[in-house]
Amino acid sequence: MPLIRRMPKRGFNNKRFGIRFLPVNLAALNVFDDGSRVDAAALRARGLANGVADGIKILGTGELTKRLTVSAHNFSTSARAKIEALGGTCELVGRRAATQVKG
């Protein structure tokens, strides 16, 4: 058996450099009062976003019945459409402007 085939195959992995979001479904936001502001602190206080991650992402699963101002790190397209259809607003937090590399 050649040496190269006997050696363990290990290599570079981008997993540690990726961005991890805590998913929160849209239907779970119905626990908040109509017209209230929903942010990361409010989601963690209600137990909807537990764990360690780089941010919170609102997913479009389920139906929203209340008009809310939602502040999160990322939104799915369907979640943004459903929130804005009811007259609510979506605010992105923690986004840095893209920088160009000179070269």
- The yes-or-no verdict on residue 98 having pLDDT over 80 is no
Report residue 97's pLDDT band, with 50, 70 and 90 as the boundaries.
very low
CATH placement of domain 19-92: 3.100.10.10
Q: Which are the contacts of 42, defined by CB distance < 8 A and separation ≥ 6?
A: 32, 36
Determine the Cα–Cα distance for residues 84 and 86; give it in Å rounded to an integer.
5
Q: What is the pLDDT of residue 95?
A: 61
Question: Helix H segments across 1-103?
Answer: 3-6, 40-45, 77-85
13 falls in which pLDDT band (50, 70, 90)? Answer: confident
C-alpha span between 8 and 32 (Å, rounded)? 52
pLDDT in tens, 41-71: 999 999 999 999 999 999 999 999 999 999 9
Local confidence band at 16 (pLDDT 50, 70, 90 cut-offs): confident
**Confidence at 25, pLDDT banded by 50, 70, 90:** very high
Secondary structure (3-state) at 81: helix
* pLDDT bucket at 96, cuts 50 / 70 / 90: low
Q: What is the pTM of this model?
A: 0.78
